[in-house]
């Protein structure tokens, strides 16, 4: 996500009929798009239908403009994951996608020669 991310659609008050009426009511007539995307924010969080786990968010500013997978690596993910494990309820089920940093090899598998 970029720090200047903004929604392209919003709910509209249908009781206001003109831009003059909106202005005189101290309301705006639409979204103001920010200039540029801004810095890239890399966000990791965990939650369920009950909401997000308290104090489990990991948010940092990306230093590269390319693919975020270059900045989120197995070590960073594992460190974050170890901090949130004690915050999860017993019998929790964790579902992850196939991001490369979710499945890092701890040791090199020996090969036969």
> Which is higher by pLDDT, 68 or 106?
106
Give Cα separations from 21 to 9, 13, 24, 26, 31 (angstroms).
Answer: 21, 12, 5, 9, 17
pTM exceeds 0.95? no
Q: pLDDT (tens digit, 9 = 90+) per residue, 39-69? A: 778 889 999 988 999 999 998 888 866 665 6
Closest CA to 13 of 24, 22, 26, 1: 22
- CA pair distance 65, 71, nearest whole angstrom: 10
């Amino acid at each position: 996500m970029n720090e200047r991310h903004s929604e392209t659609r919003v709910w509209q008050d249908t009781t206001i009929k003109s831009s003059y009426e909106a202005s005189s009511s101290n309301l705006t007539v639409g979204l103001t798009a920010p200039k540029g995307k801004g810095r890239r924010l890399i966000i990791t969080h965990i939650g369920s239908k009950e909401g997000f786990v308290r104090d489990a968010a990991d948010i940092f500013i990306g230093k590269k403009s390319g693919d975020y997978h270059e900045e989120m690596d197995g070590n960073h993910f594992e460190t974050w994951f170890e901090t949130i494990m004690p915050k999860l309820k017993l019998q929790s089920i964790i579902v992850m996608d196939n991001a490369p940093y979710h499945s890092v090899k701890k040791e090199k598998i020996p090969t036969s020669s």
